[in-house]
Amino acid sequence: MRKKIVAGNWKMNLNAEEASNLVNGVCTALENIKLDESIHIVFGPPAPYLPLVKSMIPSILTETALVAAQNCHSEPKGAYTGEVAASMLSDIACDYVILGHSERRKYFKEDNELLNKKVQQALANDLEVIFCCGESLEQRNAGVLFDVVKDQLTAIFDLSEEDFKKVVIAYEPVWAIGTGVTASPEQAQEMHAYIRKLIAEQYSEAIAENTTILYGGSVKPANAVELFANADVDGGLVGGASLKDADFVDIIKAIV
């Protein structure tokens, strides 16, 4: 059975005190929600707060509540001032790394070739990858949304089967990120089913069935239930609504 995941991407937000309050609030609520082993709740703080967040997760939740970095470098080490290597994330017991987010593609010009190297680094260092893909509004309106997503997935389609099993896909239409506009459940399901079909063609039906595909883009408590009800939507990657414990918890409840 494939994993269900609700992951929060905090982006460059919160300070240490706010981070502590948020994690405390969510973990306290989680202790009262029945979560089976197939569910992961992931906090994605800015890199300096990863150890703090990890240390705040109570032992009863260590299998369920995990942490994600928002980036890693494409090289193992060296003269890359300001960068963080995948091995360093692994060293501080980070569980996941988010790669290919549209903000990194846009502001840091990350392309398929670079992302492929980052994914390889992450997997070589025992991190699981949340790999983001998604089309812009212009691309959707031009009818090339499926071609765009297919092209973005080529960055991970040369992975071995064993490595690919450690990748979670997050479909995040760019026009829905941080805009308050959410893909309809039908739009999300259509793309998720397409992604799963591509995985089946590239790897196998069994691998496609076991791959977790998250939806991201203005997920909130008001729309999470209907989004997560789709057969191919296995949870969400949540930006803005992951910064408030009550909202994040309500979204988590939608996956249970």
Cβ–Cβ < 8 Å for 41, 238: no
Minimum distance, C-beta of residue 203 to ligand PEP, in the bound complex (Å)? 25
Does 198 participate in binding ligand PEP (rule CB under 6 A)? Answer: no
Contacts of 204 (CB under 8 A, 6+ apart): 161
Q: Give residue 96's Cα distance to chain centre.
A: 8
Does 71 participate in binding ligand PEP (rule CB under 6 A)? Answer: no
Q: Which is nearer to ligand PEP, 45 or 216 (CB)?
A: 216
Q: How far apart are CA 170 and CA 213, in angstroms?
A: 6
- Catalytic site residue from 103, 110, 135, 172: 172
Choose the binding region for ligand PEP from 22-30, 121-129, 226-234, 235-243 (rule: CB under 6 A).
Answer: 235-243
Residue type, 177: I
Q: How far apart are CA 119 and CA 124, in angstroms?
A: 8
Token pair of 202 as six digits: 């590239």
Does 45 participate in binding ligand PEP (rule CB under 6 A)? Answer: no
Q: How many residues bind ligand PEP (CB under 6 A)?
A: 13
Does 44 participate in binding ligand PEP (rule CB under 6 A)? Answer: no
| 73: annotated active-site residue | no
Cβ–Cβ < 8 Å for 8, 242: yes
Does 218 participate in binding ligand PEP (rule CB under 6 A)? Answer: yes
Token pair of 246 as six digits: 């009550």
**Residue closest to ligand PEP when measured from CB atoms:** 239
User: What sign has the CA pseudo-torsion 217, 29, 34, 211?
Assistant: positive
Interface mask toward ligand PEP for 157-196; x: CB under 6 A: ---------------x----xx------------------
| 172: annotated active-site residue | yes
Q: Provide the 10 A C-beta neighbour count for residue 150.
A: 15
Catalytic residues: 101, 172
Where do contacts with ligand PEP occur on this chain (CB under 6 A)? 9, 172, 177-178, 216-219, 237-241
